[in-house]
Protein backbone atom coordinates (compact mmCIF):
# COMPACT_ATOMS: atom_id res chain seq x y z
CA UNK A 1 0.00 0.00 0.00
CA UNK A 2 1.19 3.52 -0.73
CA UNK A 3 0.48 6.79 1.02
CA UNK A 4 0.20 9.90 -1.16
CA UNK A 5 1.28 13.27 0.20
CA UNK A 6 3.21 16.31 -1.00
CA UNK A 7 3.60 14.84 -4.50
CA UNK A 8 5.33 11.84 -2.97
CA UNK A 9 4.47 8.18 -2.60
CA UNK A 10 5.53 6.60 0.66
CA UNK A 11 5.22 2.86 1.07
CA UNK A 12 3.11 1.64 3.96
CA UNK A 13 4.02 -1.91 4.89
CA UNK A 14 0.97 -3.23 6.62
CA UNK A 15 2.09 -6.78 7.37
CA UNK A 16 -0.84 -8.82 8.62
CA UNK A 17 -2.81 -5.78 9.72
CA UNK A 18 -5.92 -4.40 8.13
CA UNK A 19 -5.42 -0.68 7.58
CA UNK A 20 -8.84 0.75 6.82
CA UNK A 21 -9.56 3.92 4.84
CA UNK A 22 -9.89 6.03 7.98
CA UNK A 23 -6.45 5.00 9.23
CA UNK A 24 -4.89 5.53 5.81
CA UNK A 25 -6.49 8.97 5.53
CA UNK A 26 -5.17 9.92 8.97
CA UNK A 27 -1.60 8.99 7.97
CA UNK A 28 -1.90 10.88 4.66
CA UNK A 29 -3.30 13.97 6.41
CA UNK A 30 -0.34 13.86 8.75
CA UNK A 31 2.25 13.55 5.97
CA UNK A 32 0.49 16.28 4.00
CA UNK A 33 0.82 18.68 6.95
CA UNK A 34 4.62 18.76 6.92
CA UNK A 35 7.06 20.19 4.36
CA UNK A 36 7.71 17.73 1.53
CA UNK A 37 11.48 18.03 1.94
CA UNK A 38 11.11 16.51 5.40
CA UNK A 39 9.89 13.30 3.78
CA UNK A 40 12.86 12.90 1.47
CA UNK A 41 14.85 10.65 3.82
CA UNK A 42 11.87 8.50 4.83
CA UNK A 43 11.82 5.23 2.88
CA UNK A 44 8.77 3.53 4.31
CA UNK A 45 6.45 3.10 7.29
CA UNK A 46 5.95 -0.34 8.77
CA UNK A 47 2.99 -1.35 10.93
CA UNK A 48 3.84 -3.77 13.72
CA UNK A 49 2.46 -5.11 16.94
CA UNK A 50 4.79 -5.26 19.90
CA UNK A 51 4.18 -6.64 23.34
CA UNK A 52 5.31 -3.46 25.03
CA UNK A 53 3.38 -0.60 23.53
CA UNK A 54 5.84 2.11 22.60
CA UNK A 55 3.94 4.03 19.93
CA UNK A 56 6.58 3.99 17.28
CA UNK A 57 10.26 4.07 16.50
CA UNK A 58 12.60 5.41 13.85
CA UNK A 59 15.29 3.21 12.38
CA UNK A 60 18.16 3.65 9.99
CA UNK A 61 17.51 2.08 6.57
CA UNK A 62 19.92 -0.55 5.33
CA UNK A 63 20.43 1.04 1.92
CA UNK A 64 20.53 4.71 1.02
CA UNK A 65 18.59 5.95 -1.98
CA UNK A 66 20.71 7.31 -4.83
CA UNK A 67 18.66 10.51 -4.72
CA UNK A 68 19.52 11.21 -1.09
CA UNK A 69 21.71 14.26 -0.53
CA UNK A 70 25.36 13.43 0.15
CA UNK A 71 25.97 13.15 3.88
CA UNK A 72 22.33 12.39 4.61
CA UNK A 73 20.97 9.06 5.71
CA UNK A 74 17.72 7.20 5.10
CA UNK A 75 15.23 5.99 7.68
CA UNK A 76 12.11 3.95 8.12
CA UNK A 77 9.45 4.36 10.78
CA UNK A 78 7.71 1.67 12.74
CA UNK A 79 4.20 2.41 14.05
CA UNK A 80 2.53 0.13 16.55
CA UNK A 81 -0.93 -0.95 15.45
CA UNK A 82 -2.09 0.11 18.92
CA UNK A 83 -1.28 3.71 18.06
CA UNK A 84 -4.60 3.68 16.14
CA UNK A 85 -6.51 2.60 19.23
CA UNK A 86 -8.54 5.57 20.51
CA UNK A 87 -8.46 4.18 24.05
CA UNK A 88 -4.72 3.58 24.24
CA UNK A 89 -3.72 6.60 22.21
CA UNK A 90 -6.48 9.23 22.03
CA UNK A 91 -4.02 11.90 20.83
CA UNK A 92 -3.62 10.01 17.51
CA UNK A 93 -7.32 9.42 17.03
CA UNK A 94 -9.13 12.75 17.16
CA UNK A 95 -11.77 13.27 14.44
CA UNK A 96 -9.96 14.60 11.35
CA UNK A 97 -6.85 14.97 13.48
CA UNK A 98 -3.22 14.18 12.85
CA UNK A 99 -1.30 11.13 14.05
CA UNK A 100 0.92 12.61 16.76
CA UNK A 101 3.15 9.55 17.00
CA UNK A 102 3.95 9.74 13.28
CA UNK A 103 4.77 13.46 13.59
CA UNK A 104 7.10 12.64 16.48
CA UNK A 105 8.89 9.94 14.49
CA UNK A 106 9.30 12.26 11.50
CA UNK A 107 10.87 14.69 13.97
CA UNK A 108 13.56 12.05 14.54
CA UNK A 109 13.99 11.57 10.78
CA UNK A 110 14.44 15.32 10.30
CA UNK A 111 16.83 15.57 13.24
CA UNK A 112 18.97 12.55 12.41
CA UNK A 113 19.17 13.06 8.66
CA UNK A 114 20.66 16.54 9.11
CA UNK A 115 21.97 16.56 12.71
CA UNK A 116 19.58 19.40 13.36
CA UNK A 117 19.44 19.21 17.15
CA UNK A 118 23.23 19.14 17.32
CA UNK A 119 23.20 22.34 15.27
CA UNK A 120 20.85 23.90 17.84
CA UNK A 121 23.11 22.78 20.70
CA UNK A 122 26.12 24.42 19.06
CA UNK A 123 24.50 27.55 17.69
CA UNK A 124 21.55 28.36 19.95
CA UNK A 125 22.42 27.53 23.56
CA UNK A 126 19.35 29.29 24.94
CA UNK A 127 17.08 27.45 22.53
CA UNK A 128 18.77 24.15 23.29
CA UNK A 129 18.14 24.56 27.02
CA UNK A 130 14.55 25.62 26.40
CA UNK A 131 13.84 22.39 24.54
CA UNK A 132 15.71 20.33 27.12
CA UNK A 133 13.66 21.86 29.92
CA UNK A 134 10.35 20.90 28.39
CA UNK A 135 8.30 18.11 29.84
CA UNK A 136 8.35 14.76 28.09
CA UNK A 137 5.66 12.40 29.24
CA UNK A 138 6.86 9.04 27.93
CA UNK A 139 7.72 6.44 30.52
CA UNK A 140 10.07 4.82 27.99
CA UNK A 141 12.42 7.58 27.02
CA UNK A 142 13.32 10.95 28.37
CA UNK A 143 16.46 12.11 26.61
CA UNK A 144 16.75 15.38 24.80
CA UNK A 145 16.27 13.96 21.29
CA UNK A 146 12.79 12.89 22.39
CA UNK A 147 12.07 16.47 23.40
CA UNK A 148 13.18 17.70 20.01
CA UNK A 149 10.87 15.19 18.32
CA UNK A 150 7.97 16.25 20.52
CA UNK A 151 8.63 19.91 19.77
CA UNK A 152 8.61 19.12 16.06
CA UNK A 153 5.30 17.28 16.45
CA UNK A 154 3.83 20.13 18.50
CA UNK A 155 4.44 22.58 15.66
CA UNK A 156 2.03 20.68 13.44
CA UNK A 157 -0.38 19.56 16.13
CA UNK A 158 -1.24 22.41 18.48
CA UNK A 159 -2.58 25.87 17.69
CA UNK A 160 -0.13 28.69 18.35
CA UNK A 161 -0.78 30.88 21.36
CA UNK A 162 -2.15 28.34 23.84
CA UNK A 163 1.07 27.53 25.67
CA UNK A 164 3.94 29.98 25.91
CA UNK A 165 6.67 27.47 26.73
CA UNK A 166 5.62 25.22 23.88
CA UNK A 167 5.55 28.12 21.44
CA UNK A 168 9.04 29.28 22.44
CA UNK A 169 10.44 25.79 21.79
CA UNK A 170 8.75 25.73 18.38
CA UNK A 171 10.35 29.09 17.52
CA UNK A 172 13.75 27.52 18.23
CA UNK A 173 13.29 24.79 15.63
CA UNK A 174 11.76 27.23 13.11
CA UNK A 175 15.07 29.10 13.31
CA UNK A 176 17.19 25.99 12.77
CA UNK A 177 18.35 24.52 9.43
CA UNK A 178 15.46 22.03 9.24
CA UNK A 179 13.30 25.05 8.37
CA UNK A 180 15.66 27.85 7.37
CA UNK A 181 17.24 25.60 4.70
CA UNK A 182 13.93 24.76 3.02
CA UNK A 183 14.32 25.72 -0.61
CA UNK A 184 10.70 26.16 -1.58
CA UNK A 185 7.98 28.23 -0.02
CA UNK A 186 6.25 26.31 2.72
CA UNK A 187 2.93 27.17 4.30
CA UNK A 188 3.01 26.16 7.93
CA UNK A 189 -0.10 25.27 9.91
CA UNK A 190 -1.40 26.61 13.23
CA UNK A 191 -0.50 30.25 12.61
CA UNK A 192 3.25 29.70 12.23
CA UNK A 193 5.38 31.40 9.59
CA UNK A 194 8.94 31.11 8.44
CA UNK A 195 10.86 34.28 9.13
CA UNK A 196 10.88 36.73 6.17
CA UNK A 197 14.68 36.82 6.31
CA UNK A 198 14.69 33.32 4.92
CA UNK A 199 11.75 33.50 2.52
ZN1 LIG B 1 11.05 9.23 19.93
- Strand pairing of 75-80 and 2-5? unpaired
- The alpha carbon of residue 21 and the mean position of all alpha carbons in its chain are separated, in whole angstroms, by 22
Backbone angles phi, psi at 52, to 5 degrees: -90, 115
Compute the average pLDDT of residues 98-121. 96
CA distance 33 to 36: 9
Q: What is the pLDDT of residues 29-86, one digit of tens each?
A: 999 999 999 999 999 999 999 877 778 999 999 888 888 877 778 999 999 999 999 9
Distance (Å) from CA 141 to ligand 1 centroid:
7
pLDDT by residue (tens digit) across 125-154?
999 999 999 876 665 566 889 999 999 999
| Residue 181 Cα distances to 113, 155, 175, 185, 199, angstroms | 13, 17, 10, 11, 10
CA of 9 to the centre of ligand 1 (A): 23
Please state the domain extents for the chain: 2-180
Q: How far is the CA of 197 from the centre of ligand 1 (A)?
A: 31
Q: Is the pTM here over 0.75, yes or no?
A: yes
Amino acid sequence: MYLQARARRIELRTGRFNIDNGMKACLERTLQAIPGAHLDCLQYIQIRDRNDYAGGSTNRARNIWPTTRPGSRNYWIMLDIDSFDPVQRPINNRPNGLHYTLLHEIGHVVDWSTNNFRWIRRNDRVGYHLINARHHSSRFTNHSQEKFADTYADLFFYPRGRNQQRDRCIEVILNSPAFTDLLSFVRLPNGWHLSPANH
